[in-house]
Amino acid sequence: MINSSRTLLLTLAIGGSLALAGCAGNPPTEQLASANAVIKSAEAAGGPEYAPADMKAAQDKMTQAQLLMQGQEYEQARRLIEQAEADARVAERRALAGKAQRGLHDAQQGVQQIREEGSRTPIIVQ
């Protein structure tokens, strides 16, 4: 009984190690493509204008990840790609929030101008 438990544990340990090694051995090309798409989306949303630090962080991490992939350090590259994608998502959301804030500000200015014009223009009643 004890011997079969040890055999089972050893088998699970070896199987788990092989599974992890298999994952680490494959280049994260799908994650790279996904992160690049998110970065492009963040750029289109205005990320460079509204969240330049987040965009730079995302792009720097992608550059580092590509260098790691060339060195076949796929697990480290995968982590950086995930971080880059997260940075790009933050940049995109900040850009959307910034645009919404700008739109609100513009609308408030328009209302204020209308009020000022209304108070300056006398109303003539006949």
Cβ contacts of 69 within 8 Å, gap of 6 or more: 27, 28, 32, 77
pLDDT in tens, the chain (126 residues): 556 666 655 566 665 554 554 455 899 999 999 999 999 999 999 999 999 999 999 999 999 999 999 999 999 999 999 999 999 999 999 999 999 999 888 899 988 888 888 777 666 777
Q: Is the pTM of this model over 0.95?
A: no
